[in-house]
Structure 1
């Protein structure tokens, strides 16, 4: 997998804010009271369950922002599959610093690894089909770039990042515009030639109306398998087809088999369970 890391300049403000939220007004009272200032140790980031790693750079950054003297040795990079007991990384240095950074590091690492793991479950489920798994804008406020990165780490692809990089005409836009034709025409007259236009349709009749105006993509929302097959035949390669609507690893294979190009899954970023990862004390 050719997974490009996110630039540190994007990550540092998020990690710094998370650490400051945790440290509050007086710092780590528990660790400072119990652990001698000069104590040093080695701890291990260990997978408690099988999954896919994502967010290790954020975890490393959390440790190093607390203390630059912490040394981190990476055992599994982002995008790696891990089994229970696998060591993702080791952290060596001042014990106070690693314990203070522990929760922030794990919050990022567990959350993003959970998204990557969930994405992989659907990617694997549709293996053998041409469809790609994509995420949506249903992301945690402030963490969109991270969560979309985690989808890529899990083998998925990204839909638009925000309201400003593509036009997606949905049901409310159509209602306000007075119909699909008016909505697409207004959109096309308002943006430059590099901005793609996608329109959401719920029925084959809406799809037929949309296709007459040649959008770049059509979002086939909550259609049955039979409707999806008929919709793909109607599009006949004239645009990108995307299926959406409460899709899971169990339902995705049949949807992919219809020939749809994209399968969008909102819960990957808004509801994926974490991957259980712990920080284990190894030695002084």
Structure 2
């Protein structure tokens, strides 16, 4: 699983404590020995625990207990505990708690979609889009992977994905522009989005490697999956747009085994209880 860099974690810490902790320093309690524990208030897929632990270690804190990202936690389960000075623990407390809450929220929603899909067909792949909040790509990728998903596309430089918005500027038929794309990037697959069954059928006939169905119904998806199976070699069919935990099973039942979704990025963070006290 990907690892967030210490430089990124240090930036997060500096955002929260740029010039010291006025409260802890003003009360004169910074040198006191203290302990901190983190636990899940509700069942959740854990993500970001290693980063929380590293932020504590970066402030000279000793880790006593740490569970890994990707672990399914029960309500009340402790996943991180540590000891150090009150000043260090207060400096890391909120930023580490918030990071784990947000990442675990994404990981938990991902796992729910993965489980719902694989209850129908275990080989189904859940691929999450790049519609993470801008500036959070590294942490978002970590959360998606902790939940059992993969990234659909990291950016424009990574894959060829032809949208109707591209084709609005192209006057040639699909077989011609696909040939040009293959010549420009012979090691890349050609992924093309289709908005109708008729468009998908034409793209299949022209040899697209992946047909991405945008906001298709399960019934329309089943038609395209059947068309793709008749083609040799058969293209991959991916469903995208509007896929959630509640409807993913219906799409998998069509025979589609690649599900593209943004749903894990949108929802509430998980709730993590932190206890910080003298020891």
Would the TM-score normalized by the shorter structure come out above 0.5?
A: yes
Counterpart position of 1:117: 108
2:17 is the counterpart of 1:23: yes
Contact 1:180 1:210 (8 Å CA) reproduced = no
Q: Secondary structure at the match of 1:194?
A: coil
Aligned residues: 273
Do residues 90 (structure 1) and 90 (structure 2) align? Answer: no
CA contact (8 A) 2:30 2:88 kept: no
- 1:128 correspondence with 2:120: yes
Q: CA deviation at 1:128?
A: 3.1
Q: Which residue of 1 aligns with 2:248?
A: 252
Q: Distance in 2 between matches of 1:58 and 1:5?
A: 11
CA displacement 1:139-168 (0-9 Å, x = unmatched): 122321321221111111221211112111
TM-score by length of 1: 0.90
The residue number in structure 1 matching 2:178 is 184
Contact 1:180 1:209 in 2 (8 A): no
Q: What is the match of residue 195 of structure 2?
A: 202
Listed one character per residue, the Cα deviations across residues 103-133 of structure 1 (whole Å, up to 9, x for unaligned) are 1111221111111100111111121313211
Task: Give the whole-Å Cα distance in 2 for the aligned partners of 1:173 and 1:185.
Answer: 16
| Partner residue in 1 for 2:271 | 276
Q: What is the CA–CA distance in structure 2 between the aligned matches of 1:224 and 1:180, rounded to whole Å?
A: 26
Q: TM-score, normalised by structure 2?
A: 0.92
Residue 183 of structure 1, CA deviation: 4.3
Q: How does 1:206-217 map to 2 (within 5 A)?
A: 206-217=199-210
Q: Where does structure 1 lack aligned partners over 5 or more consecutive residues?
A: none
1:235-250 to 2 correspondence within 5 Å?
Answer: 235-236=228-229, 238-250=234-246
Q: Distance in 1 between matches of 2:209 and 2:264?
A: 25
Displacement of 1:257 after TM fit? Answer: 0.6
**Which range is displaced more, 137-146 or 254-263?**
137-146
Q: Secondary structure at the match of 2:134?
A: coil
